Amino acid sequence: MHINQRTITCILCPNGCELEVCWEGSPTAQSLDVQGNLCPKGISYALDELTHPERTLTTSIRVRGGKQRLASVKTVSPIPRETVVNARESLKSIVLDAPVAIGQVVMKDVAGTGVCVIVTRAVDRHPEVEPPS
């Protein structure tokens, strides 16, 4: 049987371990040989990355009438890596009216993942801008 090998950088803690991962057949907890991890999290991260990679999406959206023109946002939990591009595209058309609060929900089900996108940077209303009617 063919032995697969891949180098993966673990992102679960500040160590950023370079994992050397080997497996035969389909990657499973039993078939993985993981080297280079400084903590046990590296093993589960390697398996997840090989079988169902996920990412937390962080980006910015436009704010109308605010002291800043952009507010940072992120998904409340990781989403499947294959949905990240569609999720980012779906957020491009959103414009929030200031004021914008941290934790404010921007989108409830981004790219059909069931995951919410929330604001991570507050934007106050600019004093010289009239509120929307």
For residue 99, say if its preceding peptide bond is cis, omega within 30 degrees of 0: yes
Rounded to an integer, what distance in angstroms lies between the CA atom of residue 64 and that of residue 101? 14
Q: Are 58 and 89 in contact (CB under 8 A)?
A: no
Q: Residue 104 corresponds to which tokens in the numbers above?
A: 């404010």
| Pairing mode, strands 105-107 and 95-97 | unpaired
pTM of the model: 0.83
Helix (H) or strand (E) holding 33: strand 33-35
Q: Are 100 and 66 in contact (CB under 8 A)?
A: yes
CATH number corresponding to 58-119: 3.10.530.10
Q: What is the pLDDT of residues 16-35, one digit of tens each?
A: 999 999 999 889 888 899 99
Question: What pLDDT is stored for residue 18 in this prediction?
Answer: 97
- Per-residue three-class SS string for 50-84: HHCCEECCEEEEEEECECCCEEEEEECCCEEHHHH
Q: What are the phi and psi torsion angles at 18 (to 5°)?
A: -85, 110
Q: Are 65 and 73 in contact (CB under 8 A)?
A: no
Q: Please report, for the chain, the start and end positions of each structural domain, with discontinuous segments joined by +.
A: 3-52, 58-119
Question: What pLDDT is stored for residue 128 in this prediction?
Answer: 82
| Residues with pLDDT less than 50, the chain | none
Q: Are 25 and 7 in contact (CB under 8 A)?
A: no
